[in-house]
DNA sequence: ATAGGGTTAG
């Protein structure tokens, strides 16, 4: 179905060309826009606030990230404000050399003042200063619960879990270590670092040591559940636990639960929690509705989605950008292209399509349905809005899937000229486009870029590269890439491995071929049977008999008789003499009748090396029991050369026994 | 007086 090509000439971007005033008038303070809870400060305490800002004039309830505000409700209004402490804090914060300012003003400052400075550094993301100041405070024992709590939080933000854990374990006072705020902030810090399992372990440990968790604790832990595989069952356990402690779930905890259901594709469970929260008298907000919609989007359940939007509206809530975007996702996944087109236009008219997200939703779906042309039209619409480049990634992948290599390559180049921005997904996408199009120089450039940006390749990257190097007959490069891939713990695809083994064999790199073969053998997937025979023939051709023997011995049932015979002949002629008997026995064990000619070669090898007499005797003694006799030429050869052997008497006896039999 | 949580794109 053509959606955009035939769409009526509706003005797609009505506000875009008019003026910039729209943007100016709709710019709200970040806090208000994001629906955050704003803590209102009573007017009377206004004079008690420390307030550092560039202009010194702004005093609004919104706080920019660099504001330092403080309220102190306990202070008696009659007491004059201790301005010298305020000034000292301001001086330290504003000083280019805060360390020396701090030591100068040390006597004037109390712990809570230092905490203000600590939070200022934290909000400014000056992690080095946060760390340094905290050390300074610890050395002077000028810390309290709040200092630790704030410090942990900033260690989480700066991704320094190690330091946070170190500081936590260095807390000597037991009641401080069990303080719920400090524990909560450390647990949050661990989740920021995606250490969910360790976080739960730590939580259990803390409880054993005497922590009494509160609603915050459960809120933090539940948030972690949304991002892990078995998060839902873990979440249920936590809910049960918090209820058994007499705590009650609030609006936000329900929001988290709904998000967990949505991310684990559990619609019915989401509905149940939704009803439960209603029954408890909590009224759902936009977050709850959007999580429900998100759950419905997985299967594109537009009926339920429409219902929920209806009831949301009748509850007096106005759908926002996220709600409508999620609804778009529902329509797109549900295959309602006409309705998704209409909704996209609504989004545009409402000013909610100022970034590429809604376009990406539609585009990806069109592309995956195979309607690449429509998707491209959608990409062109995207070009008029603030785009991050995701749209390019979708479209380039679509061209690649569709075999439109030239288009993919051109779009990749276009992306690079517009954006100088790379992440792993984008690099993989571009790499695939250049590889498919055979643009070697660009491929190498992407690899250099990846290296320079210290972005480590993932399974996709390796897979793309190995395929490409194979196609370009750069077998050694392909081999090195596979080695690299293997050493990084990635499973190498069976098909690529097999063709690489063959090519390496053909191009005179049998050892490398064998190394790839071994990766395949010890990988989780069982390789197809034919690979063993191919490997065996490569090794025989390269005279790598020892390895050939290993392959033959372990996979004889998957190797054809001619190949086994070829192996037997070749090994007897040139294989390690010490292994001749083993090879003979192994071939016999797997049901091959050893050819007389093969035995003859073996015996001539032994005659040429009389010091291997023991092995010869062993073979001669073994043969009759398995039904093998020497042919006449072998016997003649032995008799003629028996003078070479110390135990010629014994050899003669064995030959004589045979004559009788 | 510190800790916290939920929604959309490759």
Res. A272 pLDDT band, cuts 50 70 90: very high
Residue A367 pLDDT grade (very low, low, confident, very high; cuts 50, 70, 90): confident
Place of tokens 């209820």: A243
Q: What is the pLDDT of residue A543?
A: 96
Give the pair of three-digit tokens for residue A150.
């704030």
How far apart (Å, rounded) are the C-alpha atoms in residues A51 and A69?
5
Spatial distance between the Cα atoms of A308 and A303, rounded to a whole number of angstroms: 9
Whether A584 and A597 have beta carbons less than 8 Å apart is answered as no
Q: Using CA atoms, how far apart are residues A402 and A409, in angstroms rounded to an integer?
A: 13
pLDDT over 50 (residue A119): yes
Nearest nucleotide to A428, CA against C1' atoms: B10
- pLDDT at position A73, please? 37
pLDDT at A658: 53
Question: What are the two backbone dihedrals, phi and then psi, of residue A355, each rounded to the nearest 5 degrees?
Answer: -125, 180
d(CA A69, CA A60): 11
Instruction: Enumerate the β-bridge partners of residue A355.
Output: A386
Query: Which tens digit of pLDDT belongs to each residue from A128-159?
Result: 999 999 999 999 999 999 999 999 999 999 99
B5 closest protein residue (CA to C1'):
A219
Given this model, what pLDDT does residue A59 score?
32
Average pLDDT value for residue range A230-238: 93
Report whether pLDDT(A61) > 60. Answer: no
**Band of pLDDT at residue A29, cut at 50, 70 and 90:** very low
Q: Residue A89: is its pLDDT beyond 60?
A: yes
CA of A74 to C1' of B1 (A): 11
Q: Give the relative orientation of helices A632-641 and A596-608 as an angle to the nearest 10 degrees.
A: 10
Comparing every residue's Cα with the C1' atom of nucleotide B3, the nearest one is A181
Q: Given a cut of 60, is residue A28 above it in pLDDT?
A: no
CB A381 within 8 A of CB A351: no
User: What pLDDT, on the 0 to 100 scale, is given for residue A239?
Assistant: 95
In angstroms, how far is B4 C1' from A259 CA?
16
Q: How far is the CA of A560 from the C1' of B7 (A)?
A: 61
CA A516 to CA A529: how far, in whole Å? 15
DSSP assignment letter at A431: H
| DSSP state letter for A288 | H
Distance A70 CA to B8 C1' (A): 35
Torsion of CA A458, A464, A465, A468, to 10 degrees: 180
How many Å apart are CA A34 and CA A286, to the nearest integer? 12
Q: Is the pLDDT of residue A297 over 80?
A: yes
Mean pLDDT of A621-636: 91
Q: How confident is the model at residue A49 (pLDDT cuts 50, 70, 90)?
A: very low
Tokens describing residue A135: 């050390």
Q: Rounded CA gap, A526 and A532, in Å?
A: 12
In this predicted structure, what is the pLDDT of residue A151? 96
Q: Is the pLDDT of residue A60 over 70?
A: no
Beta bridge partners of A386: A355
Listed as ranges, the nucleotides of chain B within 7 A of a protein C-beta are 1-10
pLDDT band at A566 (very low <50, low <70, confident <90, very high): very high
Q: Nearest nucleotide by C1' from A358 CA?
A: B9
Q: What is the mean pLDDT of chain A?
A: 85
A369 pLDDT tier (thresholds 50, 70, 90): confident
State the pLDDT confidence band at A524, using cuts at 50, 70 and 90: confident
Phi, psi (degrees; rounded to nearest 5) at A204: -65, -40
Could you tell me how far CA A240 lies from the centroid of its own chain?
31
Q: Is the pLDDT of residue A9 over 90?
A: no
Length of chain A: 661
| CA angle (A210, A146, A131) in 5-degree steps | 110
Is the pLDDT assigned to residue A527 strictly greater than 90? no
- Backbone φ and ψ of A386, nearest 5°: -65, 110
Nearest to A73 by CA among A122, A29, A40: A40
- Report the pLDDT value the prediction gives residue A328, as an integer from 0 to 100: 94
Query: What does A10-71 look like in DSSP terms, one character per residue?
Result: --S-TTTTT-SHHHHHH---HHHHTTPPPPPPPGGGGGG-----SSS----SS--TT-----
**Checking phi first, is residue A606 left (phi over 0); if not, alpha (psi -120 to 50) or beta?**
alpha
The pLDDT of residue A341: 86
CA of A87 to C1' of B5 (A): 36
């Amino acid at each position: 179905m053509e959606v955009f090509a035939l769409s009526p000439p509706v003005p797609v971007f009505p506000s875009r060309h008019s003026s910039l005033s729209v943007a100016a008038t709709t710019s709200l303070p970040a806090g208000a826009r994001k629906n955050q809870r704003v803590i209102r400060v009573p007017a009377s305490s206004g004079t008690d606030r420390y307030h550092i800002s560039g202009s010194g004039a702004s005093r609004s309830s919104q706080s920019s990230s660099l504001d330092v505000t403080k309220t102190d409700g306990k202070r008696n209004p009659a007491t004059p404000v201790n301005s010298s402490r305020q000034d000292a804090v301001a001086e330290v914060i504003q000083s280019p050399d805060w360390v020396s300012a701090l030591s100068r003003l040390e006597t004037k400052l109390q712990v809570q003042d230092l905490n203000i400075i600590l939070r200022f550094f934290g909000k400014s993301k000056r992690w080095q200063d946060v760390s340094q100041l905290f050390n300074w405070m610890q050395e002077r024992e000028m810390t309290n619960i709040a200092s630790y709590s704030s410090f942990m939080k900033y260690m989480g933000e700066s991704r320094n879990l190690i330091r946070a854990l170190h500081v936590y374990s260095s807390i000597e006072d037991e009641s401080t270590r069990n303080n719920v705020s400090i524990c909560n902030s450390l647990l949050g810090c661990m989740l920021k670092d995606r250490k969910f399992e360790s976080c739960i372990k730590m939580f259990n440990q803390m409880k054993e040591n005497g922590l009494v968790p509160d609603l915050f604790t459960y809120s933090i832990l539940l948030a972690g559940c949304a991002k892990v595989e078995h998060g839902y069952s873990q979440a249920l356990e936590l809910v049960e636990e918090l209820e058994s402690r007499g705590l009650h779930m609030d609006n936000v905890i329900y929001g988290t639960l709904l998000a967990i259901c949505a991310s684990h594709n559990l619609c019915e469970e989401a509905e149940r929690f939704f009803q439960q929260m209603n029954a408890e008298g909590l009224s759902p907000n936009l977050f709850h509705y959007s999580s429900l919609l998100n759950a419905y989007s997985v299967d594109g359940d537009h009926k339920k989605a429409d219902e929920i939007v209806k009831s949301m509206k009748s509850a007096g809530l106005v759908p926002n950008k996220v709600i409508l975007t999620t609804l778009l996702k529902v329509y797109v996944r549900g295959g309602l292209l006409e309705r998704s087109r209409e909704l996209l236009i609504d989004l545009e008219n409402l000013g909610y399509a100022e970034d590429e997200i809604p376009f990406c939703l539609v585009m990806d779906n069109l592309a995956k349905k195979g309607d690449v042309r429509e998707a491209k039209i959608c990409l062109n619409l995207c070009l008029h809005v603030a785009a991050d480049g995701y749209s390019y990634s979708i479209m380039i992948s679509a061209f690649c899937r569709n075999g439109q290599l030239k288009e993919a390559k051109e779009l990749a180049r276009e992306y690079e000229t517009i954006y100088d921005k790379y992440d792993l997904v984008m690099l993989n996408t571009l790499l695939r486009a250049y590889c498919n199009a055979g643009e070697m120089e660009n491929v190498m450039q992407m690899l250099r870029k990846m290296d320079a940006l210290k972005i480590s390749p993932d399974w996709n990257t390796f897979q793309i590269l190995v395929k490409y190097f194979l196609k370009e007959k750069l077998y050694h490069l392909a081999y090195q890439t596979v080695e690299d891939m293997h050493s990084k713990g990635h499973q190498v695809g069976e098909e690529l491995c097999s063709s690489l083994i063959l090519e390496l064999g053909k191009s005179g790199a049998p050892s490398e071929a064998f190394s790839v073969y071994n990766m395949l053998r010890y990988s989780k997937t069982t390789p197809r049977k034919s690979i063993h025979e191919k490997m065996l023939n490569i090794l025989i051709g390269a005279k790598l008999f020892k390895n050939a023997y290993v392959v033959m011995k372990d996979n004889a049932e998957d190797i054809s008789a001619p190949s086994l015979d070829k192996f037997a002949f070749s090994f007897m002629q040139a294989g390690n003499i010490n292994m001749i008997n083993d090879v003979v026995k192994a071939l016999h064990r797997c049901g091959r009748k050893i050819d007389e000619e093969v035995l003859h070669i073996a015996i001539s090898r032994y005659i040429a090396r009389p010091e291997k007499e023991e092995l010869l005797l062993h073979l001669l003694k073994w043969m009759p029991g398995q039904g093998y006799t020497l042919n006449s030429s072998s016997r003649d050869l032995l008799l003629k050369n028996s003078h070479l052997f110390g135990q010629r008497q014994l050899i003669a006896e064995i030959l004589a026994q045979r004559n009788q039999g």
